[in-house]
Amino acid sequence: MTLKQRNAQARQPKPDWLKVKFRITPEMAEVRRILKEHGLHTVCEEAACPNLMECFSRRTATFMILGSQCTRDCTFCDVQRGTPLPVDPDEPEHTAAAAVEMGLKHVVITSVTRDDLADGGADQFVRVIEAIRKRDAKLIVEVLIPDFRGSREALATVVAAKPSILNHNIETIPRLYPEVRPSADYQRSLDLLQTVKQLDGSMITKSGIMVGLGETTAEVTEVMQDLRRHGCDLLTIGQYLAPSNEHHPIVEYVTPETFDQYKEFGDALGFRHTAAAPLVRSSYHADQATQWL
């Protein structure tokens, strides 16, 4: 059965707690103008995030560097797959300029996965961090990085640039990796988070999980335990929403009560903060992280 057929079979009405009221604000238009002016991508737009209107209206956005074409084939993600363009040497300055123009205090930088690059794009992350800090040393810089194919050297390059928070999403339970993240590796992602702490014990680490893809509650709590054992400090858990019928189907709409239970369990495990709710995403309200630094 194809993904499209499975989606049609599994289609369920969206519950009220996931319905987002459509609205357009002047702030949204201004953010879009700034992004277009600097030729930048955001994961908000590329991944069809349900919080786009709210975040843009709050003049926040998650910048996506290294182009818009990803070299991986994850079945949950709406970012385009294809042959990436060469790395843009002007991207760091444009990103920094846009962050300052938007008046951000907390900047989130992510990227497509670039397995075509020797360092997986680590050097570009460093250049963006440095460009932002050059313009405003007080800005909190959070990076949401790919796994760099397990390269300790590439990871060490980013860690040495001293981002305020280093985020790497585990995304789902190990049982679903072959179907949902066929080019990724669960243990490799856990090891990345642990390696960050080995390289710099003071660095705040973060990860995120999607639910509703067919996992059990016990499997989710096991992943949460794995993350804590590997030194993860901050955790986000949100509802998976299929971008189209060609993506992995939504198996379940997880109730707000279950999210509350995940938050309680995460707090009990010792995460500095557990954000768990249907519309939580990795960068959602990331600017509130100042209290954990």
The 10s digit of each residue's pLDDT in 40-82 is 766 545 445 555 555 555 556 678 899 888 999 888 887 888 8
pLDDT band for position 34 (cuts 50, 70, 90): confident
Tell me, what amino acid is at 165?
A: I
Sheet (strand 41-42) strand order: 41-42, 62-65, 106-111, 140-144, 165-167, 204-211, 234-239, 273-276
Q: How far apart are CA 50 and CA 261, in angstroms?
A: 23
Q: Domain 3-292 - what CATH class? A: alpha beta
Percent of the chain scored above 90 by pLDDT?
Answer: 60
Q: Which of 60-64, 162-166, 279-283 has the highest mean pLDDT?
A: 162-166
Q: Tens digit of pLDDT for each residue in 222-260?
A: 999 999 999 999 999 999 988 888 899 999 999 999 999
The domain spans of the chain are 3-292
- Predicted pLDDT at 46: 45
- Predicted pLDDT at 9: 45
Q: Tens digit of pLDDT for each residue in 192-209?
A: 999 999 999 999 999 999
Q: What is the pTM of this model?
A: 0.87
